[in-house]
Chains A and B, each alone.
Chain A
């Protein structure tokens, strides 16, 4: 090649007004993510190197932390909880997912619906259900109100937290693993049979490698959830401290924000590591199954099917009994002494925490989170997937969009205090100080909505970009050849085709905003109580029955909203998805 020629600068196309609009929007998306993720995180990390007077302190906070056995024991505790719960949740989840995808048992639909029920239950509510089952006055502990010999599992502490976290991680594990197990090619199994491979070998050489990445992903997700969860250990942890509850105690109990920041950093180090590992492993994944795969039809096997049926029955019974106990306990007069029916617990006047106001506030907040979340997330996913050029910026935005998955709610909430409640900000590395322009949203519903959207950003973003990737990339080419502005194609084609994914994101954000505690516990304004935090506060004050009532209210609301939403959107779906019918 002629060296003079090869140095010629490659030709670039002229940028049109549309290109400039899209590029400006991409830049906006980037600054939005930096403002709500990176800057708060920076403030949090910086805070961990300051003393309480705000002066540079080096690693003194960390040294102090590790020299205080009462604090540093939590690291071990958190790992212990996370590892045990992950092993339990993933192995049970795998068996359950296997049962509903690869066996011929009856009632798969019901089983999988019930298995994912805990997704709608706040983890604090889960813990309250466990108190009523296994606590001091629990049904099991007291032997069904004295009818049977009692059995005490020593709920408060390690046992309780592990059960709670397992229940919390189990549905996620089932969802991830059943998706992985469902995607397979029946011909692989037919080939194995024709080669007379024993079924245990087929399992090890075909089934397990096929779901390898699903397993890895389930393990990481479960570990991060169990490691960082606040609700369960807060309610039934007793004297068993974990990192997430330590952050809360330092910040809310002792007003020691710097130590809170220090523990938060210790909390995110393992999750960031897990996040990086997961990214690395997922990057090595290649599509194993082609589009021409033949779906697997499980064959009946009486013995195996019976075993799996009993297993699924037992698991769903456990989930339902926790859920049922919450409802039951909320509907009786005085547990366990007077079990007559009463709605008194739903009259929150007597209990603290905000009562019905909190409930209405939560509904409002969840609705805003879903609405604005869809708007921001879908548009930024669209820009990342369907814009040409600026590849580095688009990769950066999609990286920043997956980062929130590694940020526990506790850390997110705390970092928001440090960033949004700061009077003045210093430009990093300089002495330039300026007034914080975003301070206005602190103490308003807006910060709660932003925290929710970011807390649940990753899954929503991936849902959106997966849906967008499935559209023919030539739609944009054809539209360009017809000189149609991109927003018209977006409105007339892209959005209608992605409507199912958009609705899914809305539901996901709504349900999670209804049930989450961790990010919001620091952020809710005093005059704007919300129900998930009310559950924690009521339980803390010994008002367990109203806490159960509030939990029941949240779960029922989420279930009702989801059903109404699906029913109400049937006609909408029918109109925009008519093309799917033949």
Chain B
């Protein structure tokens, strides 16, 4: 069931177009991540949803109600900012109670609700502390508790983890996600961190230059990127120049024939049309030089230019005809068995089911 419906939103700041015809449906209790580089419009979209910015065109419906022209104070949402925006002169408990006190709730009930919320975010007993006496992670928990205090229908998170240390970030990531599942609140989160998006979201909305590039589950976004931008922005991706042959499943790449599964060129592409073959570094297979391959399809002759040690993986930079073209990630044990040395010739195998095809537009 659609809870939040965003329809053809356009927003400009002077000559700069921040959002261009954005449409998106968010289901009840869904966790949506708006992901993209800085300046892609994701924060503007969140602020438009909150009513903190007003779009030039387009409509927004929440829970079936048209909220297009409602100011923030008349909408139904809670919000968490990167800066926490906790009122520094109020204690954690007072911050959480601030909105509740305004609802005409009895004093004792407000106190109970604040206790309940503090427990929910794992801060029971910390209510009397001022924000400056709390760590960044704790402040963000208070901010989260404050945002859901009034039980809003929609939770908006604006880069909530970006100001935190890596370890705190990882643990709070999980906590926010499990809290969201428990409460069942529809959530829209803005982030520029792909790991956050992949680990937390039900669906990811990848944005670039004010437009939506792709909407999909984390697995879809990672494994079936629809555009080179998405492929490159989430994880790493090798792009190899190739051309269409007479057979729609076969492509010519560095004078080798490559076979692809489940990928076809745009209808009407004739032989010789330029395309890109894309493959993730972890999908590239390095063949043991001691064994000769069964056939020569999908194999590239390369030279090992550099090995980057990254702990659990080794990242190989491979040259094709003297040019750096391919990156391959090998797990540490595989790399050890291959007895690699810089400058050596390597046969790289690109499995047909791992290659994606991108047409040049």
Give chain A's interface residues, CB within 8 Å of chain B.
Answer: 5, 8, 10-16, 18-19, 472, 474-475, 477-485, 488, 492-493, 496-497, 576-582
CB distance from B17 to the nearest CB of A (A): 9
- Overall SS of chain A's interface: helix
A13–B51 CB distance below 8 A: yes
Chain B residues whose CB sits within 8 angstroms of the CB of A581 once the complex forms: 132
A18–B131 CB distance below 8 A: no
Alpha-carbon separation in the docked complex, A478 to B83 (Å): 12
A482–B74 CB distance below 8 A: no
A10–B57 CB distance below 8 A: yes
Q: Is B122 an interface residue when CB atoms closer than 8 A count as contact?
A: no
Task: For the complex, count residues of B whose C-beta is within 8 A of A.
Answer: 38
B74–A16 CB distance below 8 A: yes
Residue among A11, A13, A475 having the largest count of chain B Cβ atoms under 10 Å: A11
A484–B71 CB distance below 8 A: no
CB distance from B225 to the nearest CB of A (A): 28
Chain B residues whose CB sits within 8 angstroms of the CB of A579 once the complex forms: 88-90, 130-132
Q: A493-B90, A576-B89 are in contact. Are A480 and B73 (CB under 8 A)?
A: yes
Q: Can you list 18 residue pairs at the A/B interface with Cβ under 8 Å? A: A11-B68, A11-B69, A19-B71, A472-B81, A474-B81, A477-B52, A477-B79, A478-B79, A480-B52, A480-B72, A480-B73, A481-B50, A481-B79, A483-B99, A485-B102, A492-B98, A580-B132, A582-B132
Q: Is B152 an interface residue when CB atoms closer than 8 A count as contact?
A: yes
Alpha-carbon separation in the docked complex, A26 to B131 (Å): 33
Q: Is B234 an interface residue when CB atoms closer than 8 A count as contact?
A: no
CB distance from A546 to the nearest CB of B (A): 48
CB distance from A4 to the nearest CB of B (A): 12
Known A-B contacts: A13-B69, A481-B50, A580-B132. Give 18 more (CB < 8 A).
A10-B56, A11-B54, A11-B57, A13-B70, A14-B71, A477-B50, A480-B72, A481-B75, A481-B78, A481-B79, A482-B102, A483-B102, A484-B102, A492-B90, A576-B89, A578-B89, A579-B88, A579-B132
Chain B residues whose CB sits within 8 angstroms of the CB of A474 once the complex forms: 81, 83, 85
Q: A482-B98, A578-B130 are in contact. Are A13 and B149 (CB under 8 A)?
A: no
In B30-86, the 8 Å CB interface with A consists of 50-52, 54-58, 68-75, 77-79, 81, 83, 85
Alpha-carbon separation in the docked complex, A478 to B69 (Å): 19
Alpha-carbon separation in the docked complex, A435 to B131 (Å): 57
A11–B81 CB distance below 8 A: no
Chain A residues whose CB sits within 8 angstroms of the CB of B98 once the complex forms: 479, 482, 484, 492
Residues 187-214 of B, flagged 1 when their CB comes within 8 A of A and 0 if not, give 0000000000000000000000000000
Alpha-carbon separation in the docked complex, A474 to B52 (Å): 10
- Chain B, residue nearest A19 (CB): B71
A488–B72 CB distance below 8 A: no
A482–B99 CB distance below 8 A: yes
CB distance from B150 to the nearest CB of A (A): 6
Alpha-carbon separation in the docked complex, A130 to B298 (Å): 97
Give chain B's interface residues, CB within 8 Å of chain A.
Answer: 50-52, 54-58, 68-75, 77-79, 81, 83, 85, 87-90, 98-99, 102, 130-133, 146-147, 149-150, 152
Residue among A12, A474, A492 having the largest count of chain B Cβ atoms under 10 Å: A474
Alpha-carbon separation in the docked complex, A481 to B80 (Å): 10
Residue among B88, B99, B147 having the largest count of chain A Cβ atoms under 10 Å: B88
Chain A residues whose CB sits within 8 angstroms of the CB of B87 once the complex forms: 475, 492-493
B73–A18 CB distance below 8 A: yes
Residue in A475, A477, A493 whose beta carbon sits within 8 Å of that of B72 in the complex: A477
Q: A484-B98, A484-B99, A492-B98 are in contact. Are A14 and B90 (CB under 8 A)?
A: no
Alpha-carbon separation in the docked complex, A10 to B54 (Å): 9
Residue in B57, B73, B75, B89 whose beta carbon sits within 8 Å of that of A8 in the complex: B57
Chain A residues whose CB sits within 8 angstroms of the CB of B78 once the complex forms: 481-482
- Chain B, residue nearest A16 (CB): B71
Alpha-carbon separation in the docked complex, A464 to B83 (Å): 23
- Chain A, residue nearest B12 (CB): A10
- Chain A, residue nearest B156 (CB): A481
CB distance from A291 to the nearest CB of B (A): 13
- Chain A, residue nearest B88 (CB): A579
CB distance from B8 to the nearest CB of A (A): 10
Q: A11-B55, A11-B69, A484-B102 are in contact. Are A478 and B74 (CB under 8 A)?
A: no
B81–A478 CB distance below 8 A: yes
A482–B149 CB distance below 8 A: yes
CB distance from A386 to the nearest CB of B (A): 13
Residue in A12, A477, A481 whose beta carbon sits within 8 Å of that of B152 in the complex: A481
CB distance from A263 to the nearest CB of B (A): 46
A478–B85 CB distance below 8 A: yes
Residue in A5, A14, A492, A496 whose beta carbon sits within 8 Å of that of B74 in the complex: A14
Chain A residues whose CB sits within 8 angstroms of the CB of B85 once the complex forms: 472, 474-475, 477-478
Q: A481-B78, A482-B98, A482-B99 are in contact. Are A497 and B88 (CB under 8 A)?
A: yes
B73–A472 CB distance below 8 A: no
CB distance from B131 to the nearest CB of A (A): 7
- Chain A, residue nearest B80 (CB): A478
Chain A residues whose CB sits within 8 angstroms of the CB of B152 once the complex forms: 481
Alpha-carbon separation in the docked complex, A496 to B94 (Å): 14
CB distance from A11 to the nearest CB of B (A): 6
Chain A residues whose CB sits within 8 angstroms of the CB of B75 once the complex forms: 481
CB distance from A480 to the nearest CB of B (A): 4
The 7 closest A-B pairs by CB, nearest first: A482-B99, A474-B85, A480-B72, A579-B130, A10-B56, A480-B73, A579-B88
Chain A residues whose CB sits within 8 angstroms of the CB of B51 once the complex forms: 13, 480
Alpha-carbon separation in the docked complex, A488 to B90 (Å): 13
Chain A residues whose CB sits within 8 angstroms of the CB of B131 once the complex forms: 579
- Chain A, residue nearest B75 (CB): A481
A497–B54 CB distance below 8 A: no
B77–A481 CB distance below 8 A: yes
